[in-house]
Amino acid sequence: MAMLCSIYRKSLSLTKESMLKSELIEVVAAKCGITATESERFLNTLTTIIYEELRKGGEVQISGFGTFSVSHRESRMGVNPRQPGQKIVIPKLNTPKFRAGDAFKAAVKL
């Protein structure tokens, strides 16, 4: 349990270190009073649901946290960086997008 507390304290510090998935699983397990296996299953299920919804073209809104959506980029003409005189077609692309909610923005402000 002491290790979990130090992981959680480290995640709250103002350092630029990233919290790893394994650390997040341990913190969720400790906060919710569940096992790490259950916490991992929850996290994996949540991310799978988000992936599936975005693949279908939908979006996922978590009130107070933010919105996951898909950004669509149309194909366009570009320049080959290796041969600047050559024009190339950059194919259309769908990319994931996250827009933070107001409560999340307020929580992150220092």
Per-residue pLDDT reduced to its tens digit, 41-94: 999 999 999 999 999 999 999 999 999 999 999 999 999 999 999 999 999 999
Q: Which domain holds residue 70?
A: 59-110
Q: What is the tens place of the pLDDT at every residue in 98-109?
A: 999 999 999 998
Number of domains in the chain: 2
pTM of the model: 0.71
Same domain, yes or no: 64 and 90: yes
Same domain, yes or no: 52 and 64: no
Same domain, yes or no: 51 and 69: no
Same domain, yes or no: 86 and 97: yes
Same domain, yes or no: 63 and 23: no
Same domain, yes or no: 46 and 74: no
Residues with Cβ within 8 Å of 84's Cβ and at least 6 positions away in sequence, in order, are none
Distances (CA, A) of 39 to 18, 28, 31: 19, 6, 10
